[in-house]
Chains A and B, each alone.
Chain A
Amino acid sequence: MTRIWQGNAGPVTVVVAAIILIWYVFVVVLNAPWERDQAARAGTEISFIQLVKNTMAQERPVLPAPHQVVAEMWDTTVNKSITSKRSLVYHGWITLSATLLGFVIGTGLGILLAVGIIHNKAMDKSVMPWVIASQTIPILAIAPMIIVVLNAVGLSGLLPKALISTYLSFFPIVVGMVKGLRSPEAIQMDLMHTYNASAAQTFWKLRWPSAMPFLFTSMKVAVAISLVGAIVGELPTGAVAGLGARLLAGSYYGQTIQIWAALFAAAALAATLVAIVGLGQRIVMQRMGGPA
């Protein structure tokens, strides 16, 4: 019995159970007025037990019950072919592909900017303020413009959405890599100087490996906000596919269960992506001689 509480499983189970319980309470509280209205309109009395039952089985509840969301997710993943427009897997893949493309471009761009910033004084002074300023603009404001402008030059589909992901994800990479590439201690830089090492040698043998922990930490943040970027990119463009489109369609037609299912799919996707980056980090760090 006590062993359960030593690992993570025990506490996590308790927290999840508590959240689900609170959720059910809110389901009853938030959905009850509609049920009472219905009963009043029909001129009938509704028992408390019946009321509670009904609040958990509405077609368009204010707050769907957890089991309704789970059922919807099951229905739209397992029971639908993945090419179906009603399949969450299909929509998830559309968003995921934009996320990954945007993340890869963002990471590459972020690393390049960081390398420029640490090697070039002018870039150090001039680029960083713009990088920070870029993140103060609400992405919702700039996303439609990116889509429209790129559409005007003949780019549509995956790339514009990916670029919105890039816009968000390059930022943590730049910040993390500037710090990481500058992380070698003074004596390690001095040592390279005494060897008369070139800038390239110093970079590849010292700065780059020193920056690895910073890179992976930044990439965890970047991959999660890449997904946010891809979803946001789908919202203002009238996209017909993707988790963002699914969220938007759900809100147009009051399909709250569909919205929540898409939300959970997005959260699960983000968690998986972060976990994959984390796994990559563990593998790389182990290869770099870290304690097993």
Chain B
Amino acid sequence: MAMYDVANEYGTDRAGLYRPAISARGLVKRFGDVAAVDGIDLEVPRGAIFAILGPNGAGKTTLMRMLATLARPDAGSASVMGHDLLAAPHEVRAAIAMTGQFASLDEDLTGRENLVLLARLWGFRGRAARERADALLAAFELSDAARKQVKDYSGGMRRRLDIAASLVVTPGVLFLDEPTTGLDPTARQRVWRMIRDLARSGVTILLTTQYLEEADQLAERIAVIDRGRKIAEGTSRELKAATGSGFLHVALADPAQIDAAAAILQARLGHPAQRNVEGARLNVVAGSAAAANAGVAALLEAGIELSDFSLGSPSLDEVFFALTGEGPAAEERADATGAEA
């Protein structure tokens, strides 16, 4: 009986408030012969920060552009805030806001004029448009630069203005395409703080990033995509569990010993070692500090001299390695980037 009740509850939820903000099935986008997005399913719950993590050219931007009605899918279907992407693009547009990878602002105008322009396009008139612009400038700590032309803004200021420009009206879903790419650490922290704060207002945020740390810092749920396909999805904790809680990084003094060292580490730690011949480096899942310690000791016992070693959380490359058994394909990445641009 209890089981039945739970199922019933879910049914009610799905029809109402807990219907996902984004629901996509089998989305495909091709550019010539290259499938930039090659059949992706996505389910983003309302009110969450959801990250799409992947290397350059993995299809992140293309996926986001499809969901924001800027690119038409070649196959598959999706709904955003309950509106069908293909049948009702205008309704989707009214429910979303998108901050692209390249500042979507008019550089010749001032920050304030950019926001007033957008406020008027959304239907605020005269004084209301100016007040809305000023409120946004204040919230994003840009009041002092309000009357400066955007071309004189720093990278961080542009990003903040760009995000503010997406909040002229409260969006159902806010798309952020690589919100901190190219920013210095201070500016990045500031943008992160604002995104986190924003999520408290209940706005659903879908962001793309190539930084594991960023996804980890911001998102409740992360989808990892590579070469147009989703290769993993879960919470940050789940993904880390899949990749091992710790990664042992060693650098060899003598590159000729790399094969021997890889064999020893695999035997000792029970995971294959990822080789980086350039720089004679090896990365391997260690599981615990004690295990990492034992691995290093085994290398030293075998007479393999190390120039450096460390135990750290997995990098994006290592997540890929753990999930796919190989690193992100560099050449294909370059191709897909070209098609995406």
Q: Please determine whether chains A and B interact with each other in the same assembly.
A: no
Which chain A residues have a beta carbon within 8 Å of chain B's beta carbons? none
